[in-house]
Structure 1
């Protein structure tokens, strides 16, 4: 089984509780206007063996509190998602959290959801016109589903308004020198950062959709 990946990183501290392994799938059919991760939209042929992915994160899993899977759209690769989640379950007792832009009704029958292999699931598309006041969400219409007892224990604290002191982002640098920020920024934060750096003579590109 192969999967199309965008990137993998550890530690991620802004997409769920604790220090987490972040796995981003490549390719998205939902394509929400204003998405901050347009670079993950374009589909690519699955080219990474799931077994190799799991082996590459095995050491991280031993140190982590869980795994967060995002994208892109993980449920656009349903078989690969199942293989990744099953493999993670064999390697760690940490929680599994998955982001999806699909409606819950359209993905709730996926085995990873129906059989409790995913502890917490964020569903529904990002909506640029919705308010952004809740934790872990880009827009307040997105729904957090606590699917297991572990999910309830670890993620129930995220069912509240954002107090404003949790707007942190993880800083990542790839092997090729590309810089990434992981997390849920406030609306327009990436454009503000781009403008600030431009005023200081730096040139950067952002993956946020035009608003």
Structure 2
């Protein structure tokens, strides 16, 4: 089964409990303003196979406490997502958390086929102007759905739990020298990082936050 994947990483500690394997799908039809992962929007790139993804995941499984699938938009590749979820279950992974920018109600057909394969699901588009107070969510309009007994045991406490006072991001350094982040940043965190690095003489380009004017607070395409 073909699949488009932006990146794989272990460990991820900011998108679910424990030390997790992160799988980011490539391609997104939703494209929320202020998205932290604008580099995953393109519909081309990242072509691989579910078997290749599983081969890498198996190397990390003995040390992992769960898997987080994000993107991009995983449900834009429903057949590949279902194939991956089934193979992950066969590999006896622990809990599986999936992020989607689609409304829960619009995912009914795929979720029926994924019954028992997803333990917890976070849905709905990121809203850059909404409050940002709930754990695991970029904006408070997003909903957390616990879909299995394991999901309820692991994630029920996150339903209305506030975000931790100690905010954190995972910072990843790839072999090609690129640096990227996993997690849910605070508003304008990347702008503040840009200012710090610029003051030190670095030349950088960021995607998140860049479309928001700092003078009037309005989003600009």
**Greater displacement, 69-78 / 56-65:** 56-65
Q: Matched residue of 1:108: which SS?
A: helix
Q: Matched residue of 1:109: which SS?
A: helix
Q: 1:161 to 1:111 in 2, by over 3 A?
A: closer
Residue in structure 1 matched with residue 155 of structure 2 by the alignment = 155
Q: 1:148 to 1:113 in 2, by over 3 A?
A: farther
Q: Distance in 2 between matches of 1:24 and 1:77?
A: 12
Residue in structure 2 matched with residue 56 of structure 1 by the alignment = 56
**Greater displacement, 102-111 / 67-76:** 102-111
Q: 1:99 to 1:106 in 2, by over 3 A?
A: same
The question of whether the paired residues in 2 share the 8 Å contact of 1:20 and 1:65 is answered with: yes
Deviation, structure 1 residue 46:
6.3
Instruction: Normalising by structure 1, report the TM-score.
Output: 0.95
Q: Matched residue of 2:132: which SS?
A: coil
Residue in structure 2 matched with residue 77 of structure 1 by the alignment = 77
Instruction: Normalising by structure 2, report the TM-score.
Output: 0.91
Q: Distance in 2 between matches of 1:200 and 1:46?
A: 33
Q: Distance in 2 between matches of 1:27 and 1:113?
A: 22
Deviation, structure 1 residue 93:
3.4
| Unmatched tracts of structure 1, length 5 or more | none
How many residues are paired up? 211
Q: Distance in 2 between matches of 1:112 and 1:120?
A: 14
Q: Distance in 1 between matches of 2:113 and 2:169?
A: 28
| Unmatched tracts of structure 2, length 5 or more | 213-221
Q: 1:163 to 1:48 in 2, by over 3 A?
A: closer
Q: 1:114 to 1:205 in 2, by over 3 A?
A: same
